[in-house]
Amino acid sequence: MNTPLKVGAVVITMGNRPDDLRALLDSVAAQEGDPVEVVVVGQGTPVTGVPDGVRTVDLPENVGIPAGRNVGIEAFGPGGTDVDVLLFLDDDGLLAHTDTAELVRQAFTADPRLGIISFRIADPETGATQRRHVPRLRASDPMRSSRVTTFLGGANAVRTKVFAEVGGLPDEFFYAHEETDLAWRALDADWMIDYRADMVLLHPTTAPSRHASYHFNVARNRVWLARRNLPAPLVPAYLGVWLLLTLARRPSVPALKAWCGGFRAGWTTPCGPRRPMRWRTVWRLTRMGRPPVV
C-alpha cells in the first residue's frame, strides 16, 4: 500500500487581512485525510492570531510575492523536501471543499510526471471565474479541466521534486509572471501542468491593475521572462507580439508610460540566469495551444 503524499501549505501575508487569513487557515485545517502543515510568511509584519500548530516566519520587509513564497518553501526543508507537495494559497482565499488536499494527493499519485496543479478560482458571492484565471488561451469554459502551460500563483499545488530539479520562483520579479517563469522551466524538464476545475479556491473578484506597480512590473518581467527562458530567435517575436497586444488594449497614458518604463527596465537591468528552453519544449508548448510567442 502506498504511503499518502505529505502535503504542506505556504501562505504569505502583509497582515492587513487577519479575518480572511484565519478563515483560510480554518479551511486548510478542515481538509480530509492527513493534516496539512502550514507555514505563514509575514511580509514586513509579524504574523499573529493564527491557530496553534501553524508555523510562522516574520520577514523584516516586503520582499515580494515570489521571494516570500520561496521563504515558505525553505521552511519545509531545502527546496521544501520535508513534504511531497506544497499548496500555495492567497491569504484572502478560502478552500471551497474539504476534499481538495485528498484530490491533490490522488492526482500526483496517479501521474508521476504531473508537477503542478492550478486550481479554479471562483468568486465567493457569484461563483464566477474570471477569464484571466483560466490559464489557457481557450478560457471560455472554466469548468473544463485540461493540461496547461502555466498556473495561478495564489491557488496551486506543486510537487516539491519540481523545485529540487528546476529551482524556486524568481525572487527578482517581485510580482507578475513569476508563475510562467517556473512553469516554463518545469515544462522544459518534462513535468506536466494541469488546470483542475474541481479544486476550487474562493477569492473575491479583483482587477490585477489594483497594484500600483502593475503596469511597470508586467512589462519589465515580460522582458525578463523572455531573456531568461526563450531561444534567442523567439525573444523579439514574443516581445513584439506582446507590445502589439498592449497597444491594442488602448491603455491610459499613465499606464502606457509605466509600461514603457518597465519594458525599458527589462532590457537594462539584470534578469537572473539565462537558461533557454529546448526547441522540443517550444514545439510541445505549440502543440498544447500556447506557442511561446503569445
d(CA 80, CA 119): 20
With a cut of 60, say whether residue 69 has pLDDT above it: yes
Residue 229's φ and ψ, nearest 5 degrees, are -120, -20
Rounded mean pLDDT of the chain?
95
Q: Read off the DSSP letter of residue 79.
A: G
C-alpha cell at 89: 494559497
d(CA 48, CA 23): 14
Query: pLDDT category, 68, cuts 50, 70, 90?
Result: very high
With a cut of 80, say whether residue 194 has pLDDT above it: yes
- The candidate with the shortest Cα–Cα distance to 42, out of 56, 55, 21, is 56
- CA dihedral 107→110→114→116, nearest 10 degrees, is 20
At position 281, the amino acid (one-letter code) is T
pLDDT at 211: 55
- Torsion sign across C-alpha atoms 29, 128, 123, 225: positive
Q: Note the pLDDT tens digit of each residue in 108-155.
A: 999 999 999 999 999 999 999 999 999 998 889 999 999 999 999 999
Q: Are 275 and 227 in contact (CB under 8 A)?
A: no
pTM: 0.96
- Which region among 44-48, 90-94, 103-107, 206-210 has the lowest average model confidence (pLDDT)? 206-210
Contacts of 119 (CB under 8 A, 6+ apart): 100, 152, 155, 156, 157, 196, 199, 200, 201
Average pLDDT score over residue span 184-208: 94
Task: Give the 3-state secondary structure of 170-212.
Answer: CHHHCCCCHHHHHHHHHHHCCCEEEEEEEEEEECCCCCHHHCC
Return the beta strands (E) in the chain as ranges: 7-13, 37-43, 55-59, 85-89, 94-95, 114-122, 146-147, 155-159, 192-202
